[in-house]
Every structure is written in C-alpha cells, then in structure tokens.
Amino acid sequence: MSEAGTAPIFVVGSMRSGSTLLRLILDSHPDIASPGETGFMGGLRAVKEVPGWKSGRGWYERVGWTEPELDVRLHDFYAGIFERFARQEGKSRWAEKTPFHTEHVQEMAQVFPEALFVGIVRHPGGVATSLCRRFHYGFDEAVSYWGATNTRMVEGARAVGDRFALLRYEDLVRHGEAVLHELVQFLGAPWSPSMLNHHEVQPEKGAPRAVEGSTVTTDPIDAGRADHWWSDISIEDRRSLDRVAELAACFGYSVEEPIVRGLPRSRGDQRWLRRGGKLELPPTPATAVAHDNAVLMAQGDPVELARRLLKVEQALARARSRRAVRFADAVRTVQHGRSLHDLRKAYAMVRGADGGATASR
C-alpha cells in the first residue's frame, strides 16, 4: 500500500455534525478500524503540560528532553494502542474520531506527521437544533458552539494544508457514493462498497445498537435528515443564526434557508472535498470573541472562575431535574446498556431518584 494508504486517519468536526456516521462508514471499510470516541488528546496534552500546576508547561525540558523527542515517544505510545486495536479487528489501518479534537489538529499533525485529517461540517441550524434536542443546549449557545468549533477546525485545516480534507454532512447523506469515492482517493485506500452498507456491517461485527451521540448503528444513510430540522426552529432561532452567517457562507450555507449551495472550490479541488489549505475564514469571524472568552475564563481569577462554574452546575442541575430530560437520559441508558443493572438505573432516572444509588439496591 502507498504511504498515504497506511497513514492514521483523524476525523474531526463539531458535535451533531455527522462525525459518528462518518466513523461508522470508515469502520465498515475492510482495511480501516475506527473505535468509539477516545478523547486521547486530552491525555496527550496533559503529558506535555501538566494540568493544575503553574510550572507544568515544559517540565520535560528540566530533565533534558526536547519537545520533538517527547513527541516521538508519545507517537509510539498512542499509535501502538490504536495499532493493536486495528490488528484485533483484522484491519491494517486505524482511524479516530472525537469532536473536541478540533482544538488539537495542529498538535496531532505534529505528533503524527504521517496522519491524514478528515473534517465534517453541517449547517449551523441543523447542528444547533440537534444540540438542543439531544443535549439540552440553548439555541444561542449551540450557535456559538458551532461557530467557535468550526473556526478552530478551519484554522487547524489551513495549518496542515493538503493533509486535511473537508466534506459536508448534507453531501454525504445525499451523494454518499460519489463523496466516499473521493474520500478513499484522498486517504489512499481502495474503494469498498461495504462503506455504503455500514448499517449491515456494524451489527454483523457485534457493534452496539446505539453508540456515541445515541447514533443508531442499524440506521442506513438517510438523505431526509439533511434539512428536516428547518421546520423545528422558530423565527427567533433563525435570527440567532445571523451571527454565524459569514462563516456559514464559507461552507456554502445560507442561514436564511436550509438549501446547501455548491462547496466553494478553487482550481484543482475535487467535486465534494475541499483541501485544508484552500479553506477560508471571514475577515472577522463572529465567533472569535466567544472563543477568546473561553480561554480568558480558564486563565482568569480563581474566585470568578469558581463562581461561573457554580452557576453552570446549578443550571445543569435544573435541566436534569426536568422530567423530559430524565426520560431522555433513561432511554439513552437503555439503548447503550445490556444488563438488569442498566434497566434499574433507567427506571431510577425516570422516577427522579439517584440512578446509581437506587439501582444498587
């Protein structure tokens, strides 16, 4: 196989962008193994910058190590973990998908210089609606999340250039075979029709019925999901989308309608994929302030940070106390679980009791 055909693959994108669907499709390829989300970059970053300690950055230099030397060790350690998983699956190559890894594209490219990256993006209205329904976000909050996450993804994509390819969720579900043909070409992998039948491949290999994000593995690719969310949002919600209108336009989206226009392309681009070096950001992304505030908050006054965290925890507690939320959590527990303990835990959630304490009785 070519060098590109053996390289690790990192899938990145916001929550509810279709990244789990893409992972299941890749995992259905006979050569590629892609586990559930690992979040391993949080652990890798913690090795390089010890959390909770003002002297944690660059600690390895005090014992005579350079960052490139440490990167080689980290590469070998984490690649070894994923390579063993791939071998156990009978595959020759591995892929990994975790949404918050959009923050780490450049660092992943540094530690894994052979890796290829696949980004997936979805209309901000579709993402925001799904976040509100699945994870109880406020619509404004979800729109801000979409903007900040995709801004960071494009920044990382531009930095790694041709090692990054972007596709859109709407194109994947409407033109699956054409999009996937281009994708495997980018990855240096042979075409396999099994990618179009992930809903059959996954159950056959023993995958759970529901995986991350409550994605059902037996659901086939469904073009109807591309814009069904439009009828669920209010006029006020549509106004909220105006804040990310310029960024959305960079991906071919209009916030005034669910219609998806052609992906902006430069000469030499593929039909459905766009290389990272050719992606663009608006001159002043509307989400830049929101992203910077998150960084400043983490580095700010500890008392103020504690106050804000308490406020968030109280808001989460109020949300979790609602019966509709408890019922949704119970359904997800049943979907993911397979034991009597899981059923008892789900029953406790619906009743409003402490799931763990009640289920253990």
- Assign 352 a pLDDT band (cuts: 50, 70, 90): low
Nearest 10 degrees: CA dihedral of 247, 249, 252, 255?
100
DSSP structure class, residue 305? H
pLDDT of amino acid 301: 56
pLDDT of amino acid 333: 60
Rounded-to-integer distance, Cα 20 and Cα 157, Å: 20
Per-residue pLDDT reduced to its tens digit, 37-50: 999 999 999 999 99
Per-residue pLDDT reduced to its tens digit, 213-247: 889 999 999 998 888 899 889 999 999 999 999 99
Q: What single string gives the DSSP state of each residue in 88-99?
A: HTT-SEEEEE-G
pLDDT of amino acid 356: 44
- pLDDT higher than 60, residue 158: yes
pLDDT of amino acid 291: 41
pLDDT of amino acid 283: 84
Which residues have CB under 8 Å from 116's CB, separation 6+? 4, 7, 8, 9, 10, 163, 164, 165, 186, 187
DSSP structure class, residue 167? E
Mean pLDDT value across residues 176-196: 96
Rounded-to-integer distance, Cα 30 and Cα 22, Å: 15
Regarding predicted confidence, which is higher, 330 or 272? 272
Q: What percent of the chain has pLDDT over 90?
A: 67
Per-residue pLDDT reduced to its tens digit, 83-104: 999 999 999 999 999 999 999 9
Cα angle vertex 314, ends 311, 318, to 5°? 140
pLDDT of amino acid 295: 37
Mean pLDDT value across residues 177-192: 97
Mean pLDDT value across residues 202-221: 92
Asked if residue 266 lies in contact with residue 166, where contact means CB atoms within 8 angstroms, the answer is: no
Residue 116 tokens read as: 């290829």
pLDDT of amino acid 361: 35
pLDDT of amino acid 312: 62
- Assign 360 a pLDDT band (cuts: 50, 70, 90): very low
Mean pLDDT value across residues 334-346: 66
pLDDT of amino acid 341: 72
Identify residue 237 by its one-letter amino acid code: D
Per-residue pLDDT reduced to its tens digit, 265-291: 665 567 899 999 999 999 865 544 344
Nearest Cα neighbor of 141 from 133, 131, 151, 150 is 131
Strand segments (E) across 248-330: 274-275
- Assign 337 a pLDDT band (cuts: 50, 70, 90): low
